[in-house]
Structure 1
Amino acid sequence: MPLYKTLTPNSQTTVKIWKITESYQDLMQPLDLKQQSLERVLSMKSELHQRGFLSVRHLLRDFGYTDQDLFYDDNGKPHLKDGKHISITHSFTFSGVIVSDTEVGIDIEKQRDKIAIIAKKFVNYEFNYLSESDTDYIKRLTVIWGIKESLYKLFATPGMLFKEHFLVIPFMLEDKETVAWIDYQNKKHRYNTHFLEFEGFTCAFVTT
């Protein structure tokens, strides 16, 4: 069972990260999927996506849940039947799940140079402390994207834009945490954020 990392940023919150090394068959075998989930995974054209989907269900099992405990609302946000808050992510060979008593969001991204090409689409305020000449420019951009993606998952409100409604307070990679804000419809919401790097990937998650 390749549970890669377990993190507890506070007493109410746990993060589990899975390194996907198993085959599709090995991941599928021990799971009891509800019909809707089975149809969804069978319809996926990429085995990488199938394995990501199934590895999330293994993480649920590690939390003590089953696929039957998970459901999604009309905005695609996942929920647990016991009322705890959950967020889910998977990227290439890693997946992650965060469970908390309060609202949370999580994202895992592969660190890739091409993020610099789209930076202007999701970065605004953050250019005040970022420079393309920084040696860690790509990694910090990836952190910002991951934090904003996590905020989007947490808030799950159509119409929100990464560039206009989310901002990330200045940070250095060694900080491993910072603060982020959602400024939307004349209301401001403050969130604690955490981030870490491993094997060329960045994981970011936000808590209230």
Structure 2
Amino acid sequence: MAIAYRQRIDDDTEFALWKIEEQADELYQQLQLNDEEKAFVEGISSGKRHLHWLGTRVLLRKMLNTEEYIDCRIDEHGKPYLYTLPYHISLSHSFDYAAVMISRKSPVGIDVEQIKQKVERIAHKFMRPAELGFIDDKHKIEQLYVCWCAKEAVYKCYGQKEVSFADDISLQPFKLADKGLVEALLQKGNVNINYTVGYLQYEDYMIGYVKG
């Protein structure tokens, strides 16, 4: 399967979506892995988690357009980074899709989620009362997913643990469209960062993405 969707944000930043239709062996054959990564893959060698890990790494290779080994590591906060290549990266996956965002100059964050009704039941856990107040009943589920993906993208871009979606990340009111922008503010202790988060709906998935 080729890249399903690709969007350039600016000269240094882009993201892409990969529909995972391959079997695990097909994805595995497209990768170069060290012994530690091979052991990790063998430890999760079943189900969606396995396909998601392989799918994001295959997509990363496609976006970087390299056949060389990619040393992709995870820092102490759980954020992936490239040890030897000059790119910031963010990875996401949901059901049949993997997503990767890269930038030469700035931290990035991306989140992809399949749209499901269950988000309404947990909205109070990641939304402030003021944010729930601007949700349009007519498009409630989709708009809630924009909010979730936006906050997840901000969290990944910031790259630190112990950030509360409800308490530390606030969103400005917005009208839902097929794609658009959401203004977000991360406030935690001495940290005060404004973000402009992009979003778009792709089939029955919502994507949120942000450049720091």
Question: What is the TM-score when the length of structure 1 is the normalising length?
Answer: 0.92
Of 78, 81, 104, 1:79 maps to: 81
Query: What does residue 128 of structure 1 align with?
Result: 133
Query: What does residue 155 of structure 1 align with?
Result: 158
1:56, CA displacement in angstroms? 1.0
Report if the CA contact (8 A) 1:79-1:86 is conserved. yes
Q: Deviations over 1:89-127 (max 9, x none)?
A: 011100110001201100000101111101000000312
Report if the CA contact (8 A) 2:102-2:108 is conserved. yes
Of 96, 110, 113, 1:109 maps to: 113
Report if the CA contact (8 A) 2:131-2:171 is conserved. yes
Query: What does residue 64 of structure 1 align with?
Result: 65
User: In structure 2, the residue corresponding to 1:135 is in which secondary structure?
Assistant: helix
For structure 2, the residue ranges without an aligned partner over 5 or more in a row are none
- Higher mean alpha-carbon deviation, 170-179 vs 103-112, is at 170-179
Query: What does residue 205 of structure 1 align with?
Result: 209
- Structure 2 Cα separation of the partners of residues 26 and 173 of structure 1: 38
- Structure 1 Cα separation of the partners of residues 174 and 9 of structure 2: 18
1:2, CA displacement in angstroms? 2.3
Q: Deviations over 1:10-55 (max 9, x none)?
A: 2221101101111111111222112222222221164211111111
Q: Kindly, what percent of the aligned residue pairs are identical?
A: 30
Query: What does residue 43 of structure 1 align with?
Result: 43
Aligned residue identity for 1:76: G
Query: What does residue 30 of structure 1 align with?
Result: 30
- Structure 1 Cα separation of the partners of residues 196 and 175 of structure 2: 15
Q: Deviations over 1:148-167 (max 9, x none)?
A: 11111122222210000001
The alpha-carbon distance between structure 1 residues 120 and 171, as it changes in their structure 2 partners (threshold 3 A), is same
Q: Deviations over 1:128-179 (max 9, x none)?
A: 3115xx1210001011111111111122222210000001222222252121
The 5 Å alignment of 1:93-104 reads 93-100=96-103, 101-104=105-108
Query: What does residue 13 of structure 1 align with?
Result: 13
For structure 1, the residue ranges without an aligned partner over 5 or more in a row are none
Of 176, 182, 199, 1:178 maps to: 182
Report if the CA contact (8 A) 2:151-2:165 is conserved. yes
Report if the CA contact (8 A) 1:17-1:95 is conserved. yes
Query: What does residue 187 of structure 1 align with?
Result: 191
Q: Flag as ranges the 4+ runs of structure 1 deviating above 6 A.
A: none
1:189, CA displacement in angstroms? 0.2
Across the aligned residues of Structure 1 and Structure 2, the Cα RMSD in angstroms comes to 1.6
Report if the CA contact (8 A) 1:24-1:47 is conserved. no
The alpha-carbon distance between structure 1 residues 73 and 96, as it changes in their structure 2 partners (threshold 3 A), is same
- Structure 2 Cα separation of the partners of residues 58 and 126 of structure 1: 37
Q: Deviations over 1:66-88 (max 9, x none)?
A: 55331111111111122321100
Report if the CA contact (8 A) 2:150-2:182 is conserved. no
